[in-house]
A = this chain, B = another copy of it.
Amino acid sequence: MSSAGMNSPIRVMLVDDHAVVRSGLRRLLEQDGGVLVVGDAETGEQAYQLYSEFRPDVVVMDMSMPGMGGLEALRRLLARYPLARVVIFSMHENAAFATQALSSGAKGYISKSGLAGDLLNAIREAMVGRTWISPSIAQKIALQSLMGDDDPMRKLSAREFEVFRLLAEGRSVDEIAIQLKVSQKTVANYQTQLKQKLGLSSPVELVRMAIHFGVIER
């Protein structure tokens, strides 16, 4: 990182659907961290539109947002602005999500339940092109890649994972089709593929697997 303290601050854009969270983060980052929050957005769509206006160095994005959701937003943003540096800030203390986010191109994955310093670390690292992961999550990923407890979730493509998640949350095929703006046919086909890839025979097993790997709560 560029040596001492008198540098110009890192320009950050916050994306989170909860206004209070955004305010809190802004306060936190600006007071503690040599960061300037140049703008924020409530949804992935908005982030996508405002990115070119704010021109942030780093985007800090919540993962669970209404609408397209963080993962989808991440991928679209990167598709349009390949040089964007995005740090995912998630409530999911969970390897499956992290893997997905990172392999979709995120520069960091930070758990909301971690320390404030972690987020700053991630932002600073992202700024210089490196990747930073919450220690607790790094631990989990490392562990499960060492153990044979191999997460079948990693075999899923981004889109597949998305469909998997939505299915597990109880959305119907039609709802998902609408949300992702594709045909029911496509979603139905994804569903079939998922069952194959994960070795599932019933929708019920899908849910249980999702719960087991922490993709959904409860």
Chain B residues with Cβ under 8 A from A170's Cβ?
A: 201-202, 204-205, 208
Chain B residues with Cβ under 8 A from A208's Cβ?
A: 170, 207, 218
Query: Chain B: which residue is nearest A203 at the CB level?
Result: B203
Q: How large is the interface on A (under 10, 10 to 19, 20 to 34, 35 or more residues)?
A: 10 to 19
- CB of A212 within 8 A of chain B? yes
- CB of A206 within 8 A of chain B? yes
Q: Of A168, A172, A204, which is in contact with the most chain B CB atoms at under 10 Å from its CB?
A: A204
> How many copies, total?
2
Given contacts A211-B211, A218-B212, whether A204 and B202 have CB atoms under 8 Å apart is no
**A contacts, CB < 8 Å to B:** 167-172, 201-208, 211-212, 218
**A163 smallest CB distance to B (angstroms):** 13
Q: Give me the 8 closest cross-chain CB pairs, A-B, nearest first.
A: A170-B204, A203-B203, A207-B207, A170-B205, A204-B207, A170-B202, A203-B204, A172-B202
Chain B residues with Cβ under 8 A from A202's Cβ?
A: 170-172, 203
